[in-house]
Structure 1
Amino acid sequence: MAIYVDADACPVKAEAERVGTRHKTRIFIVSNGGLRPSPNPLVENVIVPEGPDVADMWIADRAGPGDVVVTGDIPLAAKCVEAGAEVLKHNGEPLTAANIGNVLATRDLMADLRAADPFRQGGGKGFSKADRSRFLDALEQALRRAARAG
């Protein structure tokens, strides 16, 4: 059982570390660099080479049943769900075999809409305290399920 955090632009790294530590779970913080290493012995900072999707590939190659992946990257989430890992977005929303197809389709539709209207601005909402709280609860529940299954 491990937690894999797609750490570039992740607003819940500290929360993932806190919950993972309480469960005595290894935590992999995966990024292209520029993050301060944690002194926590359960946390391993993994710095991957520069390049598109290198961190995603590192996580996708390792995550599987019993693991929890924290990411906002939908294609990475799809690969991890297919591999049997539990996947959580930063706001605590679970990405599962039941919903990943719709989430991927919505992502692709929004990309097409943005490409068709170069003046379209924003569209995303900010990250809130409620999102952080939902993430903490979702990660706690995911780790409890993984512990029971393992």
Structure 2
Amino acid sequence: MSAADDPGTEPPQGPTLWVDADACPRPVKDILFRAADRTGIALILVANQPISVPRRRNIRALCVAPGLDAADQEIVRRCRPGDLVVTADIPLAAEVVERGATAVNPRGVLYTRENVRQQLSLRDFMSDLRGAGIDTGGPSGFGERDRQAFARQLDRWLARLPKV
């Protein structure tokens, strides 16, 4: 395990971009890499398996032990108020929003204290339908509109950061 993957390394100073990287679409990662290059903000991709990231001082990959929700738990443990967490996992989004972080999904949907509970209820309802054997379909393919919506949300978050 390299220092970039070492969970014991010192936490970054200032706001951090955390990515639930196991299911994050490649175009979203590319946007995040460019934003981290442009701004110097810390970007940490958390996954259950080793992932490749650009060799930059402010970009790290954190590989956690295999297991259900291990990456989510690590993000919850490490995120702080003011950080941004990129995830499609609604329970993870609910937890980080509760901790004072901002959460956005890869399609650009911003999770708030107001809407994340509604999202959780809808997720549970759809899960119940699937459990009853009802085909609920799946999400549409990730496209250009999704990429643009995510980039806009990221730009809004970055614009609110204190200028150094």
Runs of 4+ residues over 2 Å off in structure 1: none
SS of corresponding position for 1:8? helix
Contact 2:46 2:64 in 1 (8 A): yes
Alignment of structure 1 residues 53-92 onto 2, 5 Å: 53-92=69-108
- Structure 2 counterpart of 1:10: 24
Structure 1 length as normaliser, TM-score?
0.92
Asked if residue 22 in structure 1 is aligned to residue 34 in structure 2, the reply is no
For 1:122 and 1:103, locate their aligned partners in 2 and report how far apart those are by CA, in whole Å: 17
**What is the count of residue pairs matched by the alignment?**
148
- Structure 1 counterpart of 2:137: 122
Contact 2:33 2:54 in 1 (8 A): no
Corresponding letter in the other structure for 1:31: A
- Structure scoring higher RCO (CA < 8 A, sep ≥ 6) equals 1
For 2:152 and 2:136, locate their aligned partners in 1 and report how far apart those are by CA, in whole Å: 32
Asked if residue 137 in structure 1 is aligned to residue 152 in structure 2, the reply is yes
User: Which stretch shifts more, 137-146 or 23-32?
Assistant: 137-146
For 2:35 and 2:53, locate their aligned partners in 1 and report how far apart those are by CA, in whole Å: 17
- Structure 1 counterpart of 2:12: none
SS of corresponding position for 1:27? strand
For 1:36 and 1:44, locate their aligned partners in 2 and report how far apart those are by CA, in whole Å: 9
SS of corresponding position for 1:142? helix
**1:121 CA displacement:** 6.1
- Structure 1 counterpart of 2:11: none
Contact 1:38 1:45 in 2 (8 A): no
Contact 2:108 2:146 in 1 (8 A): yes
SS of corresponding position for 1:60? helix
Task: Flag structure 1 segments of 5+ consecutive residues without an equivalent.
Answer: none
Structure 2 length as normaliser, TM-score?
0.85
Asked if residue 32 in structure 1 is aligned to residue 48 in structure 2, the reply is yes
User: Identity rate of aligned residues, in percent?
Assistant: 39
Corresponding letter in the other structure for 1:95: Y
Corresponding letter in the other structure for 1:10: C
**1:17 CA displacement:** 1.7
Closer, same or farther: CA 102–121 of 1 in aligned 2, 3 Å:
closer
Task: Flag structure 2 segments of 5+ consecutive residues without an equivalent.
Answer: 1-14
CA RMSD of aligned residues (A): 1.6
Corresponding letter in the other structure for 1:55: A
